[in-house]
Amino acid sequence: MTTSGQVQEPEKESPTLLQQGQLQLEQGDSIQERKLSRLQETSHFPALEHHLQEDDRDALSLQIPLEPQDLLPNGDAIPDGGYGWVVCLCQFFINTCTWGPITSFGVFLSFYRVNDFFPGANDIEYAFVAGLALSLPLFVSPLSNYLTSRLGLKVPMCIGVILQVLGLVFAGLSTKIWQIFLTQSGTAIGLVWLPTLPVLAQWFSKHRALALGIATSGSGGGSLFFSLVTRATIQRLGLRWAFIINAFVTLVVLTPSVLLMRVRTETHVTMFRFRDLHWFAHKGFSWVLLWTFTILLGSTIAVVSVPTYATAGLGLTQAQGASLQAIMAASQIVGRPLTGLFLDRVGRINGTAIITLLGDLSCLVIWMFARNFGLLVFFCIVQGMTGGIFWAACGPVCAEVVGLGEMATGRALLCLVGAVPCLVSEAIGIALVDYSETALHLTGAQAYTICIGFSGGAFGVAAMVLLGAKWHMQGNWRVWERA
């Protein structure tokens, strides 16, 4: 039907879905194309694919949001809150009572060394005790994924709670150094902590990095709490009661936290498969794996070496060394939620690279020249807010690169790679200090120069390699673009 004076134009045939998709791709910029390609590689939406014709399946990505984190693999929209805040609080307390006792191990280590509690034990053995406690939760990631896929989320977590409590009790009864190796609760912590890693991402999209930052700050809170409580308990009641009280606190806090955890979709609880090792060759994820290795190598040395640097390098008291560890832990509580906000604003990969670089500068500019307690306090504040970026950012970065559908597998591989530097980094730091003292005849703070430089250098390399993941996401090297 036409009005007078108007010439009716012939109707144009409506373009097919595939033609529409090709037109949009031609008009889109390079970043959009990379996102579409990555989405097709890493996300699967069978509910939508079922309604498409065979010839139109190449245009599947045009029927869904360009960002894979906006939908779960089953096609449900992410609520971005709601009960997710309860899950966030539960994960906060899980981090508090798993990583808290591990990162406060320095209090027990100081007691063992000052009192020669295990005659004949040397610094390298003590370093591997701490390294084993840090690395075992990561090494057991394939086992944790397997049990979670077979038994559900809560059964492995309940088993882990029981094992962790028993490990703490038996550690208090240990009289030989080899018994301390056996009673470290690394395996138990892996069973409690690892199943929760993909869960929080199911509840948040826009505020995902913030929620993960709040949850991971629990490890800093746990380190602060258990450090203060353990030191006070040892002084008043003795070593055995310190372990027993820590075990009781762990049981009371972890039990309701485990029971209240809830997943939105079981598709996120995937079993680790050996064929998933192809992710090691993924163009984007391989850079994330390299970032994981290097940043944990640098940050672990920084965390465990500062108290020793204060006492052995600068001649400060044991109380001052312990207070530095507490200050660093308190900075993590504040820094990780702020890190999440920063990542949500500037982009998960951009923000992670920037904060990693700040961790590098904190070592090479502040720690390297710190010769008094006040400057060390400043370093601990900066390092506490930046050095733990891996724990706050590995989830958001992993989701960005591989998608939510493969996040459990991606996190398992990150844990496997990260376990190696966690195991050996403290021993490397001690070996570098020993080399400076014996071969270079350096003393005091100068003996730690190579160790500090190694830690800062690892941070710097980590910041650089993460740019490779950024290139994979956006298809170019423009550093100012959001990714």
Query: pTM for this one?
Result: 0.72
Residue found under tokens 């994330």: 288
Radius of gyration, CA atoms only, the chain: 25
**Superfamily of 84-474 according to CATH:** MFS general substrate transporter like domains (1.20.1250.20)
**pLDDT tens-digit readout, 12-41:** 444 544 454 444 444 444 444 444 444 444
Tell me the angle at which helices 141-151 and 154-172 cross, rounded to the nearest 10 degrees: 130
CB neighbour class for 483 (10 Å; exposed up to 12, middle 13-18, buried from 19): buried
Residue at 155: amino acid letter: V
* pLDDT number for residue 285: 84
Q: Name, in order, each residue with C-beta under 8 angstroms of 472's C-beta and a sequence gap of 6 or more.
A: 34, 38, 283, 284, 287, 401
* pLDDT number for residue 296: 93
* pLDDT number for residue 76: 57
- Low-confidence stretches of the chain (pLDDT beneath 70): 1-80, 114, 265-279, 281, 404-405, 408, 472-483
For residue 342, what are its two tokens? Answer: 């920063």
Residue at 258: amino acid letter: V
* pLDDT number for residue 78: 66
Distances (CA, A) of 282 to 19, 75, 286, 289: 30, 25, 6, 10
* pLDDT number for residue 33: 47
The domain locations on the chain are 84-474
Q: How far apart (Å, rounded) are the C-alpha atoms in residues 301 and 287?
A: 22
